[in-house]
Structure 1
Amino acid sequence: MSELKRLSAGDLAPDFTLPDSEGTEVSLSDYRGKSVVVYFYPAAATPGCTKQACDFRDNLAELNDAGFTVLGISPDKPAKLAKFVAAEGLTFPLLSDADRAVMTAWAAFGEKTMYGKTVTGVIRSTFVVDPDGRIAHALYNVRATGHVAKLRKDLKV
């Protein structure tokens, strides 16, 4: 599997339309004119992904007040996302990329190293998309724990 070109600052963010936890279609273009944090995570309701989602939830007011909308994307189906949203009281959209096409377009799916082995899977990644639809920040291989605090520091939020 050849590695896709990773996105970097200044690149046009690949548009997408994906179902949320209720099955409602959400498009990145719906947020044109706003700053958006798009983060990709491997699986709802797993320890690291729960920590990361709850971290975004707990910092959402400050991010929103600073003008940032948060969207989480995983390969989970909408029904699993709905359970995750309800269980953790998540207050931002989680989107389903079941065929991983969006993750692939954003270079957030591919080869990665886990426990010393090379595997193919979701690469935990976070992007900040500016109001013009361009990548302002592209962060690959982020840690589930402490990542939101670092992002807030980088965004001065």
Structure 2
Amino acid sequence: MSAAPPKPRFLSVDHISWTVPDLDAAVAFYRDVIGAEELFRMGPMDAADIPLDDQGRDWMETHVGVPGARLTLVMMKLTDNMNFQLVQYDKPVDRRQDLPRNCDRGGHHLGLKVDDVEAAIAYLTAHGCTASEIIHIDAGPLAGKKNVYVLDPFGHQLEIVD
């Protein structure tokens, strides 16, 4: 049995990627409301326009695991240390539109730190988000902190924390 290769140095998070139903609307929300900066845009890239690989698979199947896909992506700078990629798939036609719940495999949320949870909730709800009740933490390692879960206008969950 051969030895495992050496562990690489994992330096930082490069980006988080979310698939959205309307790329232009999502870019506008995260740019205009959250303050992200658009870094670059790619696409549309269509598997039908890219040669097959040596195994007869299209580029999208080989690289993103979705045969026959057509996608456009925008990379945004969300904060000084976080890039945020938004992707819209136009193909395949059988792509799912529902989001996983937090308890489902692939469940997720994006936590954003703010200086004032209440002000952030007022601002975000005025811009199409839906907020749950603020959680006031009074014990444990996070005592004195507040957080709240919010749905962005596309149904993705954000957690706003102080």
TM-score of the alignment, normalized to the shorter chain, above 0.5:
no
- The TM-score normalised by the length of structure 2 is 0.25
TM-score, normalised via structure 1 length: 0.26
Structure number with higher helix proportion: 1
- Rg comparison, structure with higher value: 2
